Structure 1
Amino acid sequence: MVTSPSSTADGRFRIVVVEDDTANRLFFADYLSYSGFWVLAIPHGLDLEQHLKEFQPHLLLLDLGLPEIDGYTLLKRLRSSARWQDLPVIIVSGYAFADDQHRAMALGAQKYLVKPVPLHQLTQAIYSLLPHPARGD
């Protein structure tokens, strides 16, 4: 389970991006940082659990077609971990087939976006999964 469901002391949420394509990884990291998030962008998932432990993200953006260990395997591991089973996961993948989407959702992803992802769609998906501050309306 994510230990801190609220934003950081400065009000920013933390997002981990796992993307092997350098241009996509840098693009997502730059866009999300510009949008006000703390971002950790990594090229593979070999040490994902260690990165999660150190960074304590509020959300994970995960590619499926990764080297060494694919996104499906990583998602399955996260969902079998008591510590990370509730971490919101958005799949951002070039795999556009319905079977891929169904498989990822069955493994516990909350959202599935197909590359290229319109930035407003990415932002909407992220905000839909982050905790909202209590309002005094």
Structure 2
Amino acid sequence: MNSDRNLKVESGAALPQYPDLKRLLIVEDNTLNRLMLNDYLRFCGYNVMSLACGANLLEEVVNFHPHIILLDLRLPDIDGYILLEQLQLNPQWRDIPVIIVSARAFKADRQRAMNLGARQYFIKPVNLVDLKQAIEQEIAN
């Protein structure tokens, strides 16, 4: 295994690009959740970038070109629904699958996210095996 893949990076910093790996962008403000998702998905063989807030999401979508975005809805600086809507309004980004990983457990929250273009919705604490299957399913599509 390439040792560069295991580098620890600050939140928001990208690992060196691995063109053969699928790129996942995580937007999660909770440090423990972000690190857990980061480590698990890297272990699964993905090139992962994570952000602690949503302010730079659109910029990082341009720079990182993620295949999938994992998005928390409750962020300290911007509502996740607004980010989801902004992604869907841009023709270049609307085809990027967005998987919601949120503590918001009400059906109305899920329905709103799905109406705004989310492909899947997971309630925290998330089952990592189920999340990995959802990611693989979205990549296959």
TM-score of the alignment, normalized to the shorter chain, above 0.5: yes
What residue number does 1:98 align with? 107
> Runs ≥4 in structure 1, deviation > 2 angstroms?
8-11
TM, length-normalised to structure 2? 0.85
Structure of higher RCO (CA pairs closer than 8 Å, 6+ residues apart) = 1
Deviations 1:4-62 (A, max 9, x none): xxxx8653100000000000001100000010000000001101111111111100000
Q: Secondary structure at the match of 1:130?
A: helix
Residues 18 and 47 in structure 2, CA contact (< 8 A), matched pair in contact too: no
Asked if 1:37 corresponds to 2:69, the answer is no
Deviations 1:74-111 (A, max 9, x none): 00000001111111000000001000000000000000
Identity percentage of aligned residues: 46
Counterparts of 1:89 and 1:15, CA distance in 2: 10
Q: How many residues align?
A: 125
Asked if 1:59 corresponds to 2:40, the answer is no
TM, length-normalised to structure 1? 0.88
Unpaired segments of 5 or more residues in structure 2? 1-16
Which AA in structure 1 matches 2:140?
P
Counterparts of 2:123 and 2:97, CA distance in 1: 17
Instruction: Give the counterpart of 1:107 among 109, 113, 116.
Output: 116
